[in-house]
């Protein structure tokens, strides 16, 4: 789960990291009531990158200018995400910028510290154009990020004296935050030199969804659409895409291969929902309801390979609330004959071959019969 910058900064501040203070507002008129030192920076709060290039970050020297910027940014779309809030913060007089992050590296199955003296820009750009400016350090979970390692990392950035001491403390704290909060990424970019010290001007925090049960105080995810949130609350894995064929399957592998099948035959999935193993009649009925509520659905492809999941349970869920748009169904596996019988009795046909039923779904979405 990604957090907005202001949410990440709240967590950073809780751990004692020096963050650039600011106030979040949802209406431009609120700017006049803010007690902030000018100039200020008005920053769109979105979960996608590239907000600066999209015009979502503006500097304002006066309250009227800040209000005008807030009015322009609020409501704009950045990479498909509508801006609902802006963070207004006193502008920092930055002398130099660094990058510091702790990230889960799946290749090495460990946490890795990533630092660079080329902060303030996308680290991916730095890695592509000047990889020699990036320093990395594999973290031993039994040691964490002790001061001697943090200082060694800071020296590789050219830091020395009090700034090196401060960098060491920030790195140790950021790693503690990363570990305690079950984060996948804890990033400061830029970690700026302001005056005589370091300041976290921007913050990014990506949390591991699988550890959510350990953190009851986490904010609600804003990455999910209302339908995705509803599906999750019903124990269903549902993801929205941009095609016109709704997809239901059982098991992540089957669902992924179903998306590939549709793409192979020229179709585009509008969404997919994994009813999982051991799906119930009620779960299937709920799944059908959710996938069809996404606007623009022209057909449904239900691809069930019954193992633990019983085909007769799936069939009962389908006939209780039949698809409202043309559907192509593949139903095979455990209790296949009974499942097929239930569907036939309700006037619904289902095939056994995945290729044939995928092609049929694509044809239905194109208006075929």
pLDDT at 145 > cutoff 60: yes
For 306-357, the DSSP string reads ESSS-HHHHHHHHHHS--SS-EEEEEEETTHHHHHHHHHHTT---BS-HHHH
pLDDT at 369 > cutoff 70: no
Q: What is the 3-state secondary structure (H, E, C) of 179-203?
A: HHCCEEEEEEEEEEEECCEEEECCE
Query: Cα(96)–Cα(198) distance, rounded to whole angstroms?
Result: 10
Written as six digits, the tokens of 297 are 């659905």
**Three-state SS at 303:** strand
Q: What is the DSSP letter of 35?
A: -
Residue 60, pLDDT score: 97
Where are the alpha helices (H) located in 160-306, listed in sequence order?
161-180, 226-233, 252-264, 281-292
In contact, 197 and 3? CB cutoff 8 Å? no
Residue 297, pLDDT score: 94
Residue 228, pLDDT score: 87
For the chain, helix, strand, coil in percent to 5 are 35, 25, 35
Written as six digits, the tokens of 61 are 């020297």
User: pLDDT tens, 156-176?
Assistant: 999 999 999 999 999 999 999
User: pLDDT tens, 275-303?
Assistant: 988 778 998 999 999 999 999 999 999 99
In contact, 86 and 14? CB cutoff 8 Å? no
Residue 121, pLDDT score: 83
Residue 44, pLDDT score: 97
Query: Cα(119)–Cα(96) distance, rounded to whole angstroms?
Result: 8
What value does the mean pLDDT take over residues 145-165? Answer: 97
Assign 236 a pLDDT band (cuts: 50, 70, 90). Answer: confident
- Please calculate the CA angle 31-32-35 and round it to the nearest 5 degrees: 85
What are the catalytic residues? Answer: 99, 187
Written as six digits, the tokens of 279 are 């799906």
Assign 125 a pLDDT band (cuts: 50, 70, 90). Answer: confident
Residue 359, pLDDT score: 96
Q: What is the DSSP letter of 223?
A: S
Query: Cα(1)–Cα(4) distance, rounded to whole angstroms?
Result: 10
Assign 135 a pLDDT band (cuts: 50, 70, 90). Answer: very high
Residue 166, pLDDT score: 98
What value does the mean pLDDT take over residues 308-327? Answer: 93
pLDDT at 80 > cutoff 80: no
Per-chain mean pLDDT for the chain? 93
Side-chain-side CA neighbours of 71 within 13 Å: the count stands at 8
User: pLDDT tens, 36-77?
Assistant: 999 999 999 999 888 988 999 999 999 999 999 999 999 999
Written as six digits, the tokens of 117 are 């003296």
List CB contacts of 279: < 8 A, sequence separation 6 or more.
Answer: 250, 287, 309, 313, 314, 317
pLDDT at 368 > cutoff 60: no
Residue 3, pLDDT score: 95
Residue 32, pLDDT score: 93
**How large a percentage of the chain has pLDDT more than 90?**
80
Least confident of 16-20, 152-156, 217-221: 217-221
């Amino acid at each position: 789960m990604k957090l907005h910058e202001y949410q990440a900064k709240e967590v950073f501040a809780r751990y004692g990291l020096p963050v650039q203070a600011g106030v979040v507002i949802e209406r431009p008129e609120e700017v006049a009531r803010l007690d902030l030192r000018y100039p200020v920076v008005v920053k769109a709060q979105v979960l996608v990158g590239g907000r600066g290039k999209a015009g979502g970050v503006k500097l304002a020297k006066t309250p009227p200018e800040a209000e005008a910027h807030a009015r322009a940014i609020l409501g704009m779309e950045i990479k498909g995400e509508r801006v609902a809030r802006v963070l207004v913060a006193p502008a920092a007089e930055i002398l130099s910028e660094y990058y510091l992050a702790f990230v889960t590296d799946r290749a090495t199955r460990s946490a890795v510290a990533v630092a660079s003296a080329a902060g303030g820009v996308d680290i991916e750009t730095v890695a592509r154009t000047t990889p020699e400016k990036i320093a990395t350090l594999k973290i031993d979970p039994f040691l964490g990020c002790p001061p001697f390692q943090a200082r060694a990392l800071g020296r590789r950035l050219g830091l020395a004296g009090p700034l090196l001491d401060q960098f060491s403390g920030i790195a140790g704290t950021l790693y503690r935050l990363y570990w305690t909060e079950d984060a996948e990424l804890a990033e400061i970019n830029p970690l700026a030199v302001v005056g005589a010290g370091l300041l976290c001007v921007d913050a990014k925090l990506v949390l591991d969804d699988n550890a959510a049960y350990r953190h009851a105080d986490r904010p609600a995810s804003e990455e999910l659409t209302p339908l995705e949130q509803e599906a999750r609350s019903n124990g269903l894995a549902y993801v929205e895409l941009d095609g016109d064929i709704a997809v239901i399957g059982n098991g992540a592998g089957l669902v992924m291969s179903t998306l590939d099948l549709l793409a192979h035959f020229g179709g585009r999935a509008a969404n997919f929902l994994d009813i999982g193993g051991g799906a119930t009649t009620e779960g299937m009925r709920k799944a059908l309801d959710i996938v069809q509520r996404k606007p623009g659905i022209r057909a449904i492809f239900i691809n069930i390979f019954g193992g633990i999941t019983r085909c007769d349970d799936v069939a009962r869920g389908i006939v209780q609330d039949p698809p409202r748009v043309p559907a192509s169904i593949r139903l095979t596996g455990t209790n296949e004959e009974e499942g097929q019988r239930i569907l036939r009795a309700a006037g619904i046909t289902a095939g056994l071959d995945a290729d044939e039923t995928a092609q049929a779904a694509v044809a239905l979405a194109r208006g075929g019969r």
